[in-house]
């Protein structure tokens, strides 16, 4: 059964992600990042007073806040300052002006629910008063690594593009995979999911946690596909780029998956 705490987190996500009604793309960008920060704060408030937090769950809640604030802040600054990003998004992202208002409401509701499901393993661990264990610690570490990788990737690409605006980025984390920021996102939410597997109880909790994890991973593969199509359009005739993509996996390290463009079932 859906708990009161779950509903409270849904309200938090709905209130924050409502900024998407001002600018459509914000449902899945700024609304996403800042909703996660809001969820982390709500978890600390709801469970901190009763002493239910362990050091692991407290750290994970703080990581959720840091993740959301960094992502939301980064996206906001990029929108305001990057002319290249503005041109790209103008051509590829709908401004929402032609979207039916009812559809906007549906998207708003679905996005808010997804954000809560993604973070639900932490909620359910706290709600079920599950003891701290090795699985929770492992999940926390994986989550931390994902946040660090995503942050480092965004920072690396941002600095690289300032000095090489017309070249693809192939330095730092981009030597490991072509989409290390998406890999960081996958690791972040895989860590969140793993942290809860020994705490989940009942069909509802498992469905919510699995749905959140599967959806965000699917979205990241879809994002990688869209990025690859854009990169091929921009750099497809560059021999250095062709050499780079022929030996650098797109998303998963050490797995020889060098193209997802042909997988049309991915978001895109």
Q: What phi and psi values does residue 170 have, to the nearest 5 degrees? A: -135, 30
Q: Average pLDDT per run of 10 along the chain, which is 268 residues long?
A: 92 97 93 98 91 93 97 89 56 65 95 98 96 96 98 95 92 95 97 97 96 96 90 91 92 78 53
pLDDT value of position 79? 81
Closest-CA residue to 254 (of 177, 191, 194): 177
Tell which phi-psi region holds residue 175, choosing left (phi > 0), alpha (psi between -120 and 50) or beta: alpha
pLDDT value of position 263? 55
pLDDT value of position 95? 58
Domain ranges of the chain: 1-129, 133-267
pLDDT value of position 115? 98
Helix residue ranges per DSSP H, the chain: 4-17, 30-48, 55-81, 83-92, 101-127, 134-163, 180-196, 202-235, 239-247
| pTM of the predicted model over 0.85 | yes
Q: How far apart are CA 69 and CA 7, in angstroms?
A: 22
pLDDT value of position 17? 97
pLDDT value of position 84? 55
pLDDT value of position 80? 81
Q: How far apart are CA 180 and CA 147, in angstroms?
A: 11
pLDDT value of position 99? 82
Question: What is the chain's alpha carbon radius of gyration, rounded to the nearest angstrom?
Answer: 19
Q: How far apart are CA 189 and CA 185, in angstroms?
A: 6
């Amino acid at each position: 059964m859906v708990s009161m705490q779950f509903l409270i987190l849904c309200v938090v996500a709905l209130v924050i992600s409502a900024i998407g009604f001002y600018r459509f793309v914000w449902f899945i960008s700024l609304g996403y990042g800042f909703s996660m920060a809001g969820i982390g704060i709500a978890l600390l408030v709801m469970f901190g007073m009763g002493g239910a937090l362990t050091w692991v769950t407290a750290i994970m809640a703080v990581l959720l806040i840091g993740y959301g604030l960094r992502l939301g802040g980064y996206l906001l600054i990029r929108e305001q300052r990057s002319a290249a990003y503005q041109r790209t998004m103008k051509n590829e992202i709908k401004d929402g002006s032609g979207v039916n208002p009812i559809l906007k409401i549906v998207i708003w509701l679905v996005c808010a629910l997804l954000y809560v499901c993604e973070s639900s393993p932490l909620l359910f661990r706290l709600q079920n008063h599950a003891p701290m264990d090795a699985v929770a610690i492992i999940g926390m570490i994986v989550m931390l690594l994902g946040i660090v990788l995503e942050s480092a990737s965004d920072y690396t690409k941002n600095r690289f593009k300032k000095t090489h605006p017309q070249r693809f980025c192939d330095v730092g984390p981009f030597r490991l995979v072509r989409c290390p920021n998406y890999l960081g996102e996958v690791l972040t939410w895989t860590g969140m999911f793993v942290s809860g597997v020994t705490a989940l109880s009942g069909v509802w909790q498992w469905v919510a946690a699995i749905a959140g994890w599967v959806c965000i991973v699917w979205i990241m593969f879809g994002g990688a596909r869209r990025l690859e199509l854009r990169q091929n359009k921009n750099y497809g005739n560059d021999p250095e780029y062709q050499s780079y993509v022929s030996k650098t996996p797109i998303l998963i390290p050490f797995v020889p998956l060098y193209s997802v463009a042909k997988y049309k079932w991915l978001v895109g």
